[in-house]
Structure 1
Amino acid sequence: MISGLTFLGGLIRTGTLVVNDENGRSHRFGDGTAPHVRIQIHDPAMLRRMAVNPSMALGEGYMNGQFDIIDGDVRTLLDLGVKNYARQSAHAHHWPVWATRLINFFYQHNPRNRARRNVAHHYDLSEELYRLFLDADRQYSCAYFQTPDDDLETAQRQKKRHLAAKLLLQPGQKVLDIGCGWGGLGLYLSGHADVEVVGVTLSEEQHKVARARAEASGLAQRADFRLTDYRDLSERFDRIVSVGMFEHVGLKHYDEYFRKVYDLLTDDGVAVVHTIGRTDGPGVTNSWIRKYIFPGGYVPALSEMMPAIERAGLVVTDVEILRLHYAETLKHWYERFMEHRKEVLALYDERFCRMWEFYLAGCEASFRHWGQVVFQVQLARRQDAVPLTRDYITDTEREWAARERRHELHVAC
C-alpha cells in the first residue's frame, strides 16, 4: 500500500512542504520555492490514512491535534496542497458516472425531516459565532467585489444591490426569499423598496434573529420571516430570490425545487438563484465537508441544474459566473475568525476552532484553484419578463446606491 509520505512526494511539486515525523526525521517535498510550510506529526496513523483518504485524514488530523503547523498556517498549507492537487488533476479522469450517481444517491436525499436536521447542524450554532466573523448584516454567502480594495462590508452591500437589480423590483410587489438566513437580504429589500418580503428558513436560530431584527428596524409589517419549508408554501410571488440555499437542496430534489419555484412565481415574475457551483462537471461532495460542515450539501454543475430548470418550464433569462469573489470573501472570513479566535474558543473548544479554521481555509483554496465558482441564474416564466440587454443591471445598481445614501442620511438625521 502507498504510504502517506510517498503520497505527499507525488503531490507536492511546486512550493515547499517539510514534514517532521514522530521520530525526529524531516522529509522535504516540492521544488524549494515559496510558500514554505513545515508540519510536526504527532500521530503516524494520520499519515497512513492520508494515502487512502487525504482530505478526511488531513482534516481530522488537524482537528484532533495529530499534527501541528510549525512554519506557516493552515491557510497556507491548504492553499499549497489544493494548488498542487488541482494542477495534477486537471487532466485526470473524473469519477465514473456510475460511482458518482451511487454516492450521491445515498448522500443527496433531503426530505423535510432530514433537511431540517442538516440545517440545524450548521446554522443553529451560536449566533455569537457568526457575529464574530461575518459582516455587520450577517451575510453568510459570497460577496461581490467590484474592486480588489473593497472591504467585506462594502462587498456584501454590493452583493445585495446586485441581486436587487436583477430582481427588477417594483412598488407593491411580493418577494419570496428562500433560505433567508438571519434576514439581512429581506430587510435590505423591504427597507429600500416598497415591497413585501416573505423569508423562509429551517433554522430556528436564524428565524429567531431575523424576526427580532425586523421588529427592531420597524419593518415587521413588510418583512415576514417564517420557520417553514419552502415546499409547504402555496401563495404566489412576483419575485423569488434564493442565496446560498440551493447547495442544500440535494440532487434528487432539483426537479421538486424548480417546479416549486415555477408554481410560486406569477406569470410575469422573476427569480434569481445564487448558488455555489462547479466548473468541471458533476462530482461528489468532499467527504470531510460532508461529515463535519454541511451534511447533505452538494455543489452543482450547470449541466445538473439546467435539465431540471427546463423540465419545470422555466426560462433562463441570464446566467452570471462569479469566479474569485468567494475566495476573497472566505479570506476575509478567515482573517476575522482568527482575530476573534479566543472568543470562539470561549464559546466552544480547541477542536471546534481547528475545524472551522480548516473549513474556511480549505474552501478558500477550492475557490482559488479547484474550479469552485458562484452561479447567479435568473429565471422567469416568460421570455419578455426582463429587458433585452443587461444595461439595466448597472443602471439599477446606481439607483439603489443612491437610495442607500438617502436612507443613511435620513437615519443620521
Structure 2
Amino acid sequence: MSILHPFLSRVVRRGRLTIFAPDGSEEDFGTPAPGFPEVVVRFVSGKAMRRVILDPRLGAAEAFMDGDLRIERGDIMELIQLFRMNTLWDRGSKLKDRSIAGEAADWIRTRIDSINRRGRSRANVAHHYDIGNDLYRLFLDSDLQYSCAYWPREDMTLEEAQAAKKAHIAAKLALAPGQRVLDIGCGWGGMAITLAKLADVTVHGITLSEEQFALAQARAAQAGLADRVTFELIDYRDLALRDAGRFDRIVSVGMFEHVGAHNYDTFFRACANLMTADGVMLLHTIGRFGKPGSTDAFTRKYIFPGGYIPALSETVAASEKSRLIVTDVETLRLHYARTLRQWYARTVAHRDEITRMMDERFFRMWTFYLAGATAAFESGGMGNYQIQFVRSRHALPLTRDYMAAAERDYGGW
C-alpha cells in the first residue's frame, strides 16, 4: 500500500485511477462509471509521491511539470477532471488539503500578493503576457482574444464565438457614432479595433504589456484605423489623474482579475472619474461563485502572480463606494469552459512548436494551467460576470431591448 492510498481512496470514488509506484507496484482507486475518466499514472520517484501528500495541489503540479508524475493513459485534463468530478458528485469526498489555519494563511497571502502597486502590476503583467506573442498565436483565435468567448450556438468555431463575445459586449455599451471609448486592459487590440468598426467610435486602449502594446498599434495601423484607435502603455490609475471625464464609454475585459482586492475601490473610483456624467461601463471578469476566497499556490507562483478572482459581492460592494449604479449583470456559467477546452486542444496540437519555443517543462505547466482552469469552470466554483455600470440612471433606455437589437445588427445572429 503506497503512501497515497489513504488520500486517494477517500477522494476517488467514481471513475478509475491506477497508480504505479516507483517500485512497480500497482494500486487501483475508484469504480468505473459512465462519463468519468479512467487514468493511469506512474510516479518516477518516492519524492514525487511525498510532494503530492505534503501539498496535493502545488505538489502534484510541480511533480507533473518536472516529469516525475507521468500520465500513461489519459492526459492531464482527464486526471484533473477525475478529481473535480468526484468532488462535485460527492461532497463527502471533497478535497480537504488545507486546515482552517492553512486556509487563513492562503487568504492572507493572496491579499498581500495582490496589493499591486504600479511597479508590481507592470512586473506581474510582464510575467504572463510578455513571454512572446508567437505563443499566444498558437492557441488563441485569429483575433487573439484571451478571455471567455460567447457561444449563442453550440456549433460555433472559436473564432465565431469570440466575434460573438465582442458583439455581445458592444451591444451592452449602447454605442453611438462619435463617442470616445476607453478599453482598460486592451490586450492585443482586437476589442478596440472591433468597436471602432462596429459603431464608428474612437477607442483608446491601455495596457501594461509592452508586447501587447506594440502589436496592438501595428494591428490598428494595418486595419487603417490609426486615426480612431490608439493605444498607450499606462496604468489605469495614472490615466485617471490625467483624463478625468474624457470617456463616454469604458470597457474592460479580462483585466479586473489582475487588479487585486486591495485595489478594487481605487479601480472603480478611477473608472467613475474617467467617465462622462452620462457614461456607461461594461466590466467582463472571471468571478467566483459564493463568498470571497483565495488564489491557489500554483496560480500565484507560476501563472498570474498578484492575481485574484473576485466574488460578485466584492465587485459590487467596491463599485458602490464610487456611486456607480449596476444596471445589468449576466453570469456566463459555462462559456469559459468551452473556450478553455478549445485553447487546450490547440495547445496540445502545437506541442512540438511550443516545446521548441519554450521547453518541455513549460508545455506541461501550460497544459496543467489550462486543464485546471477548465475543471474549475466546468465543475468548480468559477464563472464569468458581465456587469454594466452607469453614473446616471438616465444614461440608458428604460428596457434591455436595445441590447438584443444592437447584437443582431453587430453579429447577424
TM-score, normalized by length of structure 2?
A: 0.94
Aligned residue for 1:383, secondary structure, equals: coil
Compute the displacement of 1:399 (Å): 1.1
Residue 148 (structure 2) aligns with: 142
Closer, same or farther in 2 for the Cα pair 1:344/1:91, shift >3 Å? closer
C-alpha contact (below 8 Å) 1:109/1:253 kept by paired residues:
yes
Aligned residue for 1:213, secondary structure, equals: helix
Map residues 99-138 of structure 1 onto 2, 5 A cutoff.
99=105, 101-138=107-144
Kindly provide the amino acid, as one letter, of the partner of residue 117 in structure 1: A
The CA distance in 2 between the partners of 1:64 and 1:101, in whole Å, is 27
Q: 2:169 aligns with which of 163, 173, 178?
A: 163
Describe the superposition over 1:51-84 as per-residue Cα deviations: whole angstroms up to 9, x where unpaired: 2321101111111001111111111111111222
Closer, same or farther in 2 for the Cα pair 1:49/1:100, shift >3 Å? closer
Compute the displacement of 1:90 (Å): 8.1
Q: 1:175 aligns with which of 156, 164, 181?
A: 181
Residue 313 (structure 2) aligns with: 303
| 2:273 is the alignment partner of 1:263 | yes
Residue 317 (structure 1) aligns with: 327
Closer, same or farther in 2 for the Cα pair 1:345/1:361, shift >3 Å? same
The CA distance in 2 between the partners of 1:5 and 1:24, in whole Å, is 15
The CA distance in 1 between the partners of 2:91 and 2:307, in whole Å, is 23
Closer, same or farther in 2 for the Cα pair 1:51/1:204, shift >3 Å? same
The CA distance in 1 between the partners of 2:190 and 2:302, in whole Å, is 26
Residue 409 (structure 1) aligns with: none
The CA distance in 1 between the partners of 2:373 and 2:105, in whole Å, is 24
C-alpha contact (below 8 Å) 1:5/1:47 kept by paired residues:
no
Residue 72 (structure 2) aligns with: 70
| 2:32 is the alignment partner of 1:29 | no
Name the stretch that deviates more: 51-60 or 165-174: 51-60
The CA distance in 2 between the partners of 1:85 and 1:66, in whole Å, is 25
Residue 55 (structure 2) aligns with: 53
| 2:242 is the alignment partner of 1:249 | no
C-alpha contact (below 8 Å) 1:4/1:49 kept by paired residues:
no
Closer, same or farther in 2 for the Cα pair 1:91/1:37, shift >3 Å? closer
The CA distance in 1 between the partners of 2:406 and 2:198, in whole Å, is 13
The CA distance in 2 between the partners of 1:91 and 1:377, in whole Å, is 34
The CA distance in 2 between the partners of 1:284 and 1:53, in whole Å, is 16
Compute the displacement of 1:88 (Å): 4.8
Residue 400 (structure 1) aligns with: 410
The CA distance in 2 between the partners of 1:41 and 1:101, in whole Å, is 31
C-alpha contact (below 8 Å) 2:86/2:93 kept by paired residues:
no
Aligned residue for 1:51, secondary structure, equals: helix
Aligned residue for 1:242, secondary structure, equals: strand
| 2:370 is the alignment partner of 1:364 | no
Kindly provide the amino acid, as one letter, of the partner of residue 119 in structure 1: V
Aligned residue for 1:373, secondary structure, equals: strand
Q: Which runs of 5+ in 2 are unaligned?
A: none
Compute the displacement of 1:91 (Å): 9.7
Aligned residue for 2:47, secondary structure, equals: helix
Q: Which runs of 5+ in 1 are unaligned?
A: 406-413
C-alpha contact (below 8 Å) 2:278/2:391 kept by paired residues:
yes
Query: Share of identical aligned residues, percent?
Result: 49
Residue 356 (structure 2) aligns with: 346
Q: List 4+ stretches of structure 1 deviating above 6 A.
A: 90-94
TM-score, normalized by length of structure 1?
A: 0.94
Residue 192 (structure 2) aligns with: 186
Compute the displacement of 1:401 (Å): 2.5
C-alpha contact (below 8 Å) 1:144/1:158 kept by paired residues:
yes
| 2:238 is the alignment partner of 1:232 | yes
The CA distance in 1 between the partners of 2:305 and 2:387, in whole Å, is 24
Compute the displacement of 1:40 (Å): 0.7
Aligned residue for 1:316, secondary structure, equals: strand
Kindly provide the amino acid, as one letter, of the partner of residue 63 in structure 1: M
Residue 16 (structure 2) aligns with: 16
- Give the alignment's Cα RMSD to 1 decimal: 1.8
Closer, same or farther in 2 for the Cα pair 1:238/1:130, shift >3 Å? same
| 2:10 is the alignment partner of 1:4 | no
Name the stretch that deviates more: 383-392 or 106-115: 383-392
Aligned length: 402
Compute the displacement of 1:387 (Å): 2.1
Kindly provide the amino acid, as one letter, of the partner of residue 52 in structure 2: M
Residue 345 (structure 2) aligns with: 335
C-alpha contact (below 8 Å) 2:106/2:295 kept by paired residues:
no
The CA distance in 2 between the partners of 1:89 and 1:214, in whole Å, is 50
Aligned residue for 1:49, secondary structure, equals: helix
Q: 2:203 aligns with which of 181, 189, 197?
A: 197
